[in-house]
Structure 1
Amino acid sequence: MITFDLLFFAIAIPAVLFAAISKSGFGSGAAFAASAILALVVPPGPALGIMLPLLMLIDAASLRPYWRKWDAPSACHILIGSLPGVVLGALIYAAVNADSFRLLIGAICIAFVFWQLGRSRGLIRVGNFPFSRHWAWITGLTAGFTSFVSHAGGPPVAVFLLGQNMQKTTYQATTVIVFWAINLMKFVPYLFLGIFNAQTALADLFLAPFAIAGTFLGVRAHHYVSDRVFFGLTYVLLLATGTRLLWQALS
């Protein structure tokens, strides 16, 4: 049950703006924070259902600025691997309850923060390596699964693409086309699993203008805002959100 009160909009509007800016300007690695934030005020299933159409809208609005700037071999082989990952995510989703998803999403939030902090301090190194179809398939499988259950496919894709030492815009464009396609794959299973309903559709109507506005802000921020500034705020937000979700799930 979704209650469209002041608290819902106070949480949902910043979450959607954040997701749009992250996806369209910073490689989408932390866009899953929006679903985690929404899961603080609505059950995880409806949170995922609200965010998927909005993420698809952000993807569509992001395609034009980055059109044909992606790395085609990486995108193609990640998507080949992502299809079985989406199927696996659908099977898992059908078998677990809401608190299990709060636990999973909270753990992903905190793990993402510690992985990024370790990388920034040199404790975790993503070395350069040549393109490999097999690693692309594994990346796609992981991204398809984590994207289905929590819209958190960004981190595994980021690890794979960063290892190829891509130029910033090529990296961004590759994430845009990859997640545009993965989100399309997820739509039909979400429909059959009942993740979408009339309330999530109404929420999407209210929040769609903020998704579009955030996309345009993100495209501009891609050229003018430091990654360090943006992700510094992201880590604080994800750590607080992940801790809260874990507390809700375990209590």
Structure 2
Amino acid sequence: MNPDHLYYACAIIAVILAGLAKGGFAGVGALAMPIMAIGVDPVRGAAIMLPILILQDAVSVWVYRRDWDAGILKVILPGAAIGITLGWLFAAQVSETAVLGVLGAISILFGLQRLWLERNKTALLPSDSPGWVGMIFGIASGFTSQIAHAGSPPFQMWVLPKRLPRDMLVGTTALAFAAMNWMKLPAYAALGQFTHANLMATAMLVPVAIVSTFAGVALVRRVDPARFYTLIYALMVLLGAKLVADAMLG
């Protein structure tokens, strides 16, 4: 395949997956960067994608602007800021492969346990774990987001057991990751990756980004709320398997 054709094919697929994730299908967005990396250098691909993600965040935040939990954000975001800073400082010393492997294994176990409870009709009472627990998960989410673009599983491990209404979960997730992506901007700027060529590549993907995000919103709202959590837990297991596979192959 022509290298340019390969790049555009991978970029469009990556942006669509990211849009579906921003629309509410948490987890599938983790596939975006590995696919993007097939067609372009991973660092450049991440720099091209970050403004796209921020634009998609803006769409999803606007759509769900009335549905979010302030209490969760007050706990998660300070922890995420710490985690992003730690990931930035220690990226050279931390094995991304090891982090992905451990995170993937934990995600699989967590997702399977929750699916088992759902299948066996076990009463799933909302979690009321204290704020310091959420802070720890926030740190983990920010850290893994900064070093491996995989901040979703730690966030979900703390937030999903709270059994928020579907739209409130999606809105809270949208706001949380919108803030995290803005926090990550200085690291990419320091790498000198916001070049004219990269920004032009980003601009060409903007229409796909907007359409795919609204498509994700429309699809999520067609999912039966009673089955929504089951779907998200299943996606979490698949994401965990992908992370473990990446770690074993990397």
Identify the TM-score tier after normalising by the shorter chain: 0.7 to 0.9
Q: What's the CA shift string for 1:154-213, capped at 9, x where partnerless?
A: 111111111212111111111011111111111112211334444432321222211111
Quick one: distance in 2 between partners of 1:4 and 1:234?
32
Correspondent of 1:137 among 135, 138, 142: 135
**Percent of aligned pairs with the same amino acid:** 33
Quick one: distance in 2 between partners of 1:45 and 1:7?
17
Mapping of residues 16-165 of structure 1, within 5 Å = 16-26=15-25, 28-94=26-92, 101=96, 112=107, 115-122=110-117, 128-165=126-163
Quick one: distance in 2 between partners of 1:184 and 1:35?
17
Instruction: Give unmatched runs, 5+ long, in structure 2.
Output: none
Quick one: distance in 2 between partners of 1:242 and 1:4?
29
Quick one: distance in 2 between partners of 1:13 and 1:109?
26
The answer to whether the 8 Å contact 1:86/1:185 transfers is yes
Correspondent of 1:174 among 164, 172, 175: 172
Say which is worse superposed, 109-118 or 37-46, in terms of deviation. 109-118
Describe the SS at the equivalent of 1:157.
Answer: helix
Quick one: distance in 2 between partners of 1:17 and 1:110?
26
Instruction: Give unmatched runs, 5+ long, in structure 1.
Output: none
Aligned residues, how many? 241
The answer to whether the 8 Å contact 2:107/2:239 transfers is no
The answer to whether the 8 Å contact 1:29/1:153 transfers is no
The answer to whether the 8 Å contact 1:56/1:180 transfers is yes
* CA RMSD between the two structures: 3.2
Calculate the TM-score normalised by the size of structure 1: 0.80
Instruction: Return closer, same or farther for 1:23/1:164 CA change in 2, 3 Å cut-off.
Output: same
Shift of 1:37: 1.8
Instruction: Return closer, same or farther for 1:127/1:52 CA change in 2, 3 Å cut-off.
Output: farther
Q: What's the CA shift string for 1:37-93, capped at 9, x where partnerless?
A: 222333332232222111101000111221131110111111111111111111233
One-letter amino acid of the counterpart of residue 212, structure 2: G
One-letter amino acid of the counterpart of residue 186, structure 1: K
Mapping of residues 199-218 of structure 1, within 5 Å = 199-218=197-216
Instruction: Return closer, same or farther for 1:101/1:233 CA change in 2, 3 Å cut-off.
Output: same
Instruction: Return closer, same or farther for 1:244/1:183 CA change in 2, 3 Å cut-off.
Output: closer
